[in-house]
Amino acid sequence: MGDHAQNKREALENEANQQGMFMMSEFTFDHVCYEITESVLNETGLTYAYNKCRDFLHLKSRPDVGLTAIISPKWILLAVLTQPYGKTEQGYPVYLDGFSFSGLVSL
């Protein structure tokens, strides 16, 4: 990663931290994590956590990206998929699971 990209990434990580979220340095793609506490383990709290992550990733202004979400009892992770690998017969984009490229496997 070049100096400019590294500085941009550090700024994003700092922004996430200031908003009570975090990013994982080994994931070089767009993503964000939010820690789920006991007080968030309800529909309202999970909606808040998702919306906070969504806003950080600017998903409302990125209608052509895909999204992978992993939700555990302890955290929620959202990652953006920026390129479809194909299209359906109706012309809708189809995305690969972004976590496949991180060594994670979906079952």
The secondary structure of the chain, three-state, reads: CCHHHHHHHHHHHHHHHHCCCECCCCCCCCEEEEECCHHHCCHHHHHHHHHHHHHHCCHHHCCCCEEEEEECCCEEEEEEECCCCEECCCCCEECCCHHHHHCCCCC
Range of the domain at 74: 3-102
The per-residue pLDDT for 99 is 61
Evaluate whether residue 40 is within a structural domain.
yes
* Segment 44-48 mean pLDDT: 88
The per-residue pLDDT for 65 is 84
The per-residue pLDDT for 63 is 84
Evaluate whether residue 23 is within a structural domain.
yes
| Residue 106, pLDDT above cutoff 70 | no
pLDDT tens-digit series, residues 47-82: 999 999 999 999 999 988 888 888 888 889 998 887
The structural domain count of the chain equals 1
The per-residue pLDDT for 59 is 92
Evaluate whether residue 38 is within a structural domain.
yes
